[in-house]
Structure 1
Amino acid sequence: MSTEYVALPVSTHRARTGGEAYDNIEPLLQQLADMAPTDSGREPLRQTIIGKCLPLGQHIARRYTGRGVEYEDLAQIAAVGVVLAVDRFDPGNGSSFLGFAVPTIMGEVKRYFRDSTWAVRVPRRTKELQQQLGTMIPRLAQSLGREPTARELADHMEIDLTEVTQALIARNSYTAASLDAPQTAERDGTSLTPIDSLCQIDPGYVLMEDSLTIGPLLAELPDRDRAILIMRYGQEKTQAQIAKTMGISQMQVSRLLTRILTDLRTQALQAA
């Protein structure tokens, strides 16, 4: 289709068509069918018919709101169904246009829900059962006075219990919550997201990166410098204990540590 049809509010459309949205549709469709494909008046007539039928698509789109898709998006999908209905309708088969158009438009909307709006990939059979459950559950709940069980749904629909269970579970796959969406507010005014409660930063990654950087530099240190670092940070000895082991003063140990750490920091920054 070369023309993009935008679904307008019903009131707007009626204002533009003089309140005759569905008047004389079938005679116009017959006139369209009788025109040759090369007739210059065919395309303007086709667009006029589509414009008259758009409110039907909007009405059907409203029936599917509240299922995780904005009305404007549903109206656009329904508008595609309107175009398909106009292009495929055969006035010669004896059926009414509305009888043909309604299932065509509804089929387009249902196909969109089935194929395009799932957060994760779900088998087609499971998607179809999930849609059937959407109408079956309220119907059974009304007659039973409570929510039906999976077994009752399976018996009523005459299908396997496993399939019903899979379809019920699949309803949770229809939409996905963002891990970054704020969920709860702390007393200090900050907001927590689901990812805050699911995970935390592992300091091991930082230590691993540091070890990969500092490892080769430590290997090149003189034996005495490396021994001082091992005693101070590996064995957690005090400067006084290191001084006693090395046979030097505590002041010398302090100066050596400062020099060694400064040199390592400089080399590490250069390597980065």
Structure 2
Amino acid sequence: MTVTEATEARTEALPEIADPARVAPKDARQLSRLFFDQLAVLEEGTPEYQYARNTLIEMNVTLVRFAAARFRSRGQDEMEDIVQVGTIGLIKAIDRFELSREVEFTSFAVPYIVGEIKRFFRDTSWAVHVPRRL
């Protein structure tokens, strides 16, 4: 079996999702496990790896919107900015998540998302820059 055949066999398990943003949260949890399984075996930088990673990001943007809703009344009118910053946290969570820990992805990702949003507010709204360690 050649490397190309092995890669094709592994990616056959990935379903083709036409609009990942429209996947229901319950379905996204089940599909995320499948995609994380594939990310673990695919080589980083390949088109299959990028498809799996991008699909995970798009499927879980609703999680970012849910976490960002807490910050709606913080004086930041551009909710889209908050969602974009939260998406950076989601990407970091996807890159660091391991299925072997046996933790639900949503439980793992929310602290990353909220942390990025809080960091955004700290860096953009305080008149005096306080070092992060304080």
Q: Which interval holds the TM-score relative to the shorter structure?
A: 0.7 to 0.9
Q: Partners of 1:65 and 1:56 in 2: how far apart?
A: 15
Q: Partners of 1:13 and 1:23 in 2: how far apart?
A: 15
Q: Which of these residues, 32, 44, 50, is aligned with residue 37 of structure 1?
A: 44
Q: 1:37 to 1:123 in 2, by over 3 A?
A: closer
Cα pair 2:123 2:129 within 8 Å, conserved = no
Residue in structure 1 matched with residue 7 of structure 2 by the alignment: none
Structure number with larger C-alpha Rg? 1
The answer as to 2:97 corresponding to 1:99 is no
Q: 1:65 to 1:38 in 2, by over 3 A?
A: closer
Counterpart of 1:41 in 2: which secondary structure? helix
Amino acid of the structure 2 residue aligned with 1:64: F
Residue in structure 1 matched with residue 85 of structure 2 by the alignment: 77
Residue in structure 2 matched with residue 59 of structure 1 by the alignment: 66
Q: CA deviation at 1:122?
A: 4.1
Moved over 4 A (4+): none
Q: CA deviation at 1:18?
A: 6.3
CA shift digits 1:4-43 (9 cap, x unpaired): xxxxxxxx932xx367343321221121111112533110
The answer as to 2:42 corresponding to 1:13 is no
The answer as to 2:126 corresponding to 1:114 is no
Q: Partners of 2:47 and 2:129 in 1: how far apart?
A: 46
Residue in structure 2 matched with residue 254 of structure 1 by the alignment: none
TM-score, structure 1 normalization: 0.38
Q: Partners of 1:96 and 1:48 in 2: how far apart?
A: 18
Amino acid of the structure 2 residue aligned with 1:57: V
Residue in structure 2 matched with residue 188 of structure 1 by the alignment: none
Q: Partners of 1:31 and 1:123 in 2: how far apart?
A: 41
Structure 1 unpaired stretches of 5+: 1-11, 129-272
Counterpart of 2:74 in 1: which secondary structure? coil
Residue in structure 1 matched with residue 54 of structure 2 by the alignment: 47
How many equivalent residue pairs?
112
CA shift digits 1:125-177 (9 cap, x unpaired): 7xx7xxxxxxxxxxxxxxxxxxxxxxxxxxxxxxxxxxxxxxxxxxxxxxxxx
Amino acid of the structure 2 residue aligned with 1:46: R
TM-score, structure 2 normalization: 0.72
Residue in structure 2 matched with residue 123 of structure 1 by the alignment: 130
Counterpart of 2:112 in 1: which secondary structure? helix
Give the fraction of aligned pairs with identical amino acids, expressed as a percent. 33
- How is 1:1-272 mapped onto 2 (pairs within 5 angstroms)? 13-14=21-22, 17=23, 20-69=27-76, 70-118=78-126, 120-124=127-131
Q: Which has the higher contact order (CA 8 A, sep 6+)?
A: 2
Amino acid of the structure 1 residue aligned with 2:59: K
Amino acid of the structure 2 residue aligned with 1:47: N
